[in-house]
Structure 1
Amino acid sequence: MSQLLSFEKEFGKNFITDEKELEKASEDQYLVSPIIKNLSKKAIGLLKIDNENDIRTAIDISYKHNIPLVARGAGTSTIGQVILLKPSVVLDFNNMKGIEYDKYVSVKPGTKVLETLNYLRKRGKDLMVYPSSFYISSVGGYVAGGDVGIGSFQYGYYFDESLVQLKVIGFNKEEEVKGKYVWGFAQAAGTTGFIVDSSFKLTDFQDWKDYIIEGDDLLSLLVNIKKLDRKRVRRVVIEDHDAFSVVAKGRATSNKQWITIVSSTEPLGSEINLNFMDELAFAAVYVTMSKISPFKNYFYEVRLFPIERFLSIVTKVKSVLGNKVLIHGDVMTLKGEIIIYTVFISDRENFELIDEIMRSEGIPFEIHSVEVNDRVDDPERLSLMKRYKALMDPKDLINPGKLRI
């Protein structure tokens, strides 16, 4: 394409058009939704970003020639954040690394979350919330597309308490935002500009151990979850017997109908060495299940339930489908309320029935959509995203088609 010559002239060997490299840059590593995958287009170029000036130059070329740009870190998103809805130039941020620590920790977007955690823990500190894919994901990708994660039982969304400042570059505009204005960029899938620096408030590192609490009465387990001390409990996971048996095969067993796994600084239930816990956290569970579940026509859906609604809906679904559906729940605290990030895993043909139960309960959420609007649960946050989209990317060339204005 003749319009790509400007990229080649400006960036030389850092601009790549090799077919194999473009294929890898066009797909999300964790892309397990068949609905989203079918939307993906192929990259027309891959640009290795080294610094902020590279971003500014890439945006100038993009706007001159109307070429879409999509930021990419480790490519671990499960929600289609980095798939291309239009043939685009992919900006690879993995060379843009760095960590600075004073009162807060300031991190460049290509820095891996694991690198950040290792750096902080040597200093007795920890991120308040971080993704279940922390061992491979990048900080920039998590800020742009994530919301909850490990630690969200204590702190909720990472952008509510932990994220304190962002620096973002857009078309002829750069912003350093603080306070609630980070909401215009966090979870926006990179549609509102390119994040070049993220600053986080920290917590003290603590030595957490995993405990398992089992029972046949789901109501009793949920009542006990309400009583847990958030100062001592980092993480809470609920599994039905069938889901736990599939993931824990050969490593742990239970003969109870429901299993709660708690990461805590104080003894709760039976201590157990669950070195597979990362496979059960939030989006990681349906990535894991896509590889090991017993279902031939594997499919999943996610809903966010208040604790009482979780009890009602899960009970209905299990009563109809039994072991034909696997249930996983990560327990969070959002705006002071216990909310369960609930994953339903089954053969695809069973989801008409599952969705019918959801509709009867009036549950709005769509995991198989690439549009940010379908996942943002707060009107003020969505309004800020739309405002910054118009300000930073008026032609919708930065990850286009992902945010409805």
Structure 2
Amino acid sequence: MEAETITKTFEKEFGDKKFITNDRVLEEESKAPYLVSPVLSKMGKKVIGVVMADDEEDIFNAVRLCDTHHIPLLARGAGTSTIGQVLPISPSTIVLDINRMREVIESDDSWVRITPSVKVFKALQYLRKRGKELRVYPSSFYISTLGGYIAGGDVGIGSFQYGYHFDNGGINSVRVVGPTGKYELRGEDTLGVAQAAGTTGIISSAELATVDYEDWKDQLVTFNSVEEVTKYLVRVRDYKSKIRRITIEDKETLSSVAKDRLDKVGEWNVIVASTLSLGEEVNMRFLDELAFAAIYVTMSRLTSFKDYFYEVRLLPLESFSRVVKQVKMALGSSVLVHGDVMTLRGETIVYTVFMSDKGNFPVIDSIMTREGIPFEIHSIEVNYRVDEESRLNLMKKLKRTIDPNNILNPGKLLL
């Protein structure tokens, strides 16, 4: 079907107020503005139209029309994904923009029900007035939408306490729309939607776990070696319920971000948000610049590397010390190291980011290969980021049921 015919079909269905073909809008919706991977950045294609959805019926009508004419459809919120979730890679793609959808935020003692267009920050404001907050939420909470976080994210603030945002009942229910209908998924079935990049259905509402809000204090603890950092992290595991987040920064990384904002920076630095007294209390309002994917976006702007590149590995605590020590011995201050400490299935795992000139990565990769957990941050496919075969199989099953013609974000989930 020719692009001109497609646009006429959608204009007839939605009208020019809901179906946008303005060139400036198409350019914006064809990009992932927070995507810093030089590998993924080259894969994007220009979309041919944007449906501005007001409600679930608009979503269903757009999905139905795309399925009838075999047109790729890509759902998009705030576009904050750094892993290519909102990057159009198929020709003649239509974008379904959910930012204009009516916002719903309703809560009880354990759950908050939201529509996908709700900003994470707005949900947090709503919940904190009621003494609650999201159990886990992304570092990009001030700009990202909850629909995008459910579909593309997995970790965030709170992951040291609770792990992935979808683990252990983090999502009570999720409602998705696909070519074969509307589905209300509960319990384990929600794991087929979380982190699936919209390939298994477009989210129209969800219920997410909440916890009591506490007054977390940011504290800094400095160390001379990465081995000392590891020993400290072993000790604080006993206080997991009282620690909201932990990040690790080498001297070069923290100095770059905290320039003129901290009195001292150690060779290795652990920043702990806790209700306990675990270090020197500091004003870390810039801490969100150092969390998970935010770090490699931030450092892409601050470093002087000529050919900036990064890699991510999920390293068990025991491997983290050995791998990082070898990388630092090989490259010294020419590599920056950041870590977010998480608890995944009862084990302490460090989301470890290495940032350097691209020419240094053969050295880094050779070290990480010996002990690293496979995690391909520069792959467009969901398959390389889902670390449980049972969950990946559930995604594939849902894909075949909900989107048998593969029109939802095609190319992101390999069957």
- Greater mean alpha carbon deviation, residues 305-314 or residues 101-110: 101-110
Aligned to 2:254: 244
Q: 2:311 aligns with which of 294, 301, 322?
A: 301
Report the counterpart of residue 76 of structure 1 in structure 2.
Answer: 80
Structure 1 stretch displaced more, 248-257 or 390-399: 248-257
Q: Is the 8 A contact 1:171 1:392 kept in 2?
A: yes
Who is 2:387 aligned against?
377
Counterpart residue number, 1:136: 143
Q: Which moved more, 1:360-369 or 1:77-86?
A: 360-369
- 1:46-125 counterparts in 2 under 5 A? 46-87=50-91, 88-96=93-101, 97-103=103-109, 104-125=111-132
In structure 2, list runs of 5 or more residues that go unmatched.
none
The aligned runs of 1:170-181 (5 Å cut-off) are 170-181=178-189
Could you tell me which amino acid in structure 2 is paired with residue 163 of structure 1?
A: I
Partner of 2:362: 352
After superposition, residues 3-402 of structure 1 pair within 5 angstroms as 3-12=6-15, 13-87=17-91, 88-96=93-101, 97-103=103-109, 104-161=111-168, 162-228=170-236, 229-361=239-371, 363-402=373-412
Count of residues in correspondence between the two structures: 405
Of stretches 148-157 and 223-232 in structure 1, the one that deviates more from structure 2 is 223-232
One-letter code aligned to 1:2: T
Deviations 1:192-219 (A, max 9, x none): 1101111012100001110000010322
How far does residue 356 in structure 1 lie from its aligned partner after superposition? 1.2
Does the CA-based 8 Å contact 1:48-1:95 persist in structure 2? yes
TM-score (normalizing by structure 2): 0.96
Amino acid at match of 1:352: P
Which residue identity lines up with residue 108 of structure 1 in the other structure? T
8 Å contact 2:315–2:372 — kept in the other structure?
Answer: no
Structure 2: which amino acid aligns with 1:76?
Answer: T
RMSD (CA atoms): 1.0
Instruction: Provide the secondary structure at the position in 2 that maps to 1:303.
Output: strand
Deviations 1:160-212 (A, max 9, x none): 13211100111122211111111100000111110111101210000111000
CA deviations on 1:258-302 (whole Å, 9 max, x unpaired) are 100000011111110011100000000000001111212111110
Cα deviation, residue 29, structure 1 = 1.8
Q: Which amino acid aligns with 1:107?
A: I
TM-score, normalization: structure 1?
Answer: 0.98
Partners in 2 of 1:172 and 1:365 — Cα distance?
A: 32
Distance (whole Å) between structure 2 residues aligned to residue 336 and residue 359 of structure 1: 24
Letter in 2 for 1:101: S
Corresponding letter in the other structure for 1:44: I
Find runs of 4+ consecutive structure 1 residues off by over 3 angstroms: none
- Which SS does the other structure have where 1:227 is aligned? helix
Structure 1 position 102, deviation (Å):
2.4
Provide Cα deviations, 1:135-174, integer angstroms capped at 9, x if missing partner: 0000000000000000000000000132111001111222
In 2, are the aligned partners of 1:109 and 1:139 still within 8 Å (CA)? Answer: yes
CA distance in 1, matches of 2:385, 2:172: 22
Cα offsets for 1:337-363 (capped at 9, x unmatched): 000000000011101111111223253
Q: Distance in 2 between matches of 1:158 and 1:3?
A: 38
Query: Aligned equivalents of 1:64 and 1:5: distance in 2?
Result: 15
User: Per-residue deviation at 1:255?
Assistant: 4.8
